[in-house]
Amino acid sequence: MSERKVLNKYYPPDFDPAKIPKLKLPKDRQYVVRLMAPFNMRCKTCGEYIYKGKKFNARKETVQNEVYLGLPIFRFYIKCTRCLAEITFKTDPENTDYTMEHGATRNFQAEKLLEEEEKRMQKEREEEELNNPMKVLENRTKDSKLEMEVLENLQELKELNQRQANVDFEAMLQQYKEYEEERKRREQEEDEQEMKAMLEQAQNRRLLPDSDSDEEPSKPRSEPAVKARPTDILQEGRRPQLGWSSGRGTPSPSASPGLQPPLQHNLGPPAIDSAAWDGLSFASPRSVLETGRTKERFQSLVCKAGIIPTIGAPCTAAL
């Protein structure tokens, strides 16, 4: 099976390319192209305005016997949108523009015409000076004379403005000098004040440690007294418990004879007196709570002292 996209084709041995007939086309052949109007124009037939950028289906051809530096010049044919009159224009590679040829007039080209006129005059002057040295001297004299006249006119205009304005330039300069002097003096005073403030601040910082050393040592702050609650005795690590003697009589103190009475709380009940506190002793919480008799005696003693009221029963138990 042959290849679908063939790159090389078969040429028979008796193939002669000179026998292939050539396509003869006229040199002024026209092509249909799509273009936009390169400038604003007005139709000469009906006066319709055609603005720059309007699209046309134009015919294009190469201008015969017109070349600029080897570049061909093209001509375009369009029709007026109102009267269908034929309008032609061609390229201008010398000025990188288009030139109007027939059927319409170009608008807004006064600046272009002025530039063309200046270029033409400059070119004529250069051609005259090229072969005539006296013409060069004459043109230079005219130019210098014209420059002197311009300067004189400018000076007259300045003097006229000065007379009409009535402005005293000396007074303005004097006022400006006074303003500059006042500004410099004000800046110098501000700098001096700022320097004095910085020196005073540095001196105060230097004297601050010495003044602190002369003062009396500060007294330690007394921490606020913690308010004692009635249940603080039972929540501490070492709880005051009753230590009882082996007999059934009056309880005797044991373990810590030098125990001091606790601080008075703020909830109302008075502190334990010394007589009631003598009956308290320190023992382990486990030993106190093991026997119900010891617990009852402890509660009755504490109720009698007025520290912890028993819950659910009045303080009537006796020792």
Q: Region 74-101: what's the mean pLDDT?
A: 93
pLDDT band at 235; cut points 50, 70, 90: low
Nearest C-alpha neighbor of 256 from the set 287, 279, 274: 279
The per-residue pLDDT for 250 is 45
Numbered residues of the known binding site for Zn(2+): 43, 46, 80, 83
pLDDT band at 136; cut points 50, 70, 90: confident
- Decide if pLDDT at 248 tops 90: no
Distance, in Å, from the CA atom of 230 to the CA atom of 211, rounded to the nearest integer, reads 49
| Residues linked to residue 56 through DSSP beta bridges, in sequence order | 35
- Decide if pLDDT at 237 tops 70: no
State if pTM tops 0.75: no
CB of 251 within 8 A of CB of 279? yes
9-34: per-residue pLDDT in tens? 889 999 999 999 988 888 788 999 99
Phi, psi of 126 (to 5 degrees): -65, -35
270-310: per-residue pLDDT in tens? 444 444 444 444 444 444 444 455 556 666 665 655 554 44
Phi, psi of 77 (to 5 degrees): -115, 125
The per-residue pLDDT for 288 is 44
What SS3 class is residue 271?
coil
The per-residue pLDDT for 86 is 95
Nearest C-alpha neighbor of 88 from the set 63, 64, 71, 109: 63
Numbered residues of the known binding site: 43, 46, 80, 83
108, 191, 241, 310 from 279: Cα distances, Å: 126, 83, 9, 18
Distance, in Å, from the CA atom of 253 to the CA atom of 283, rounded to the nearest integer, reads 11
176-227: per-residue pLDDT in tens? 999 999 999 999 999 999 999 999 988 888 776 655 555 555 555 555 555 5
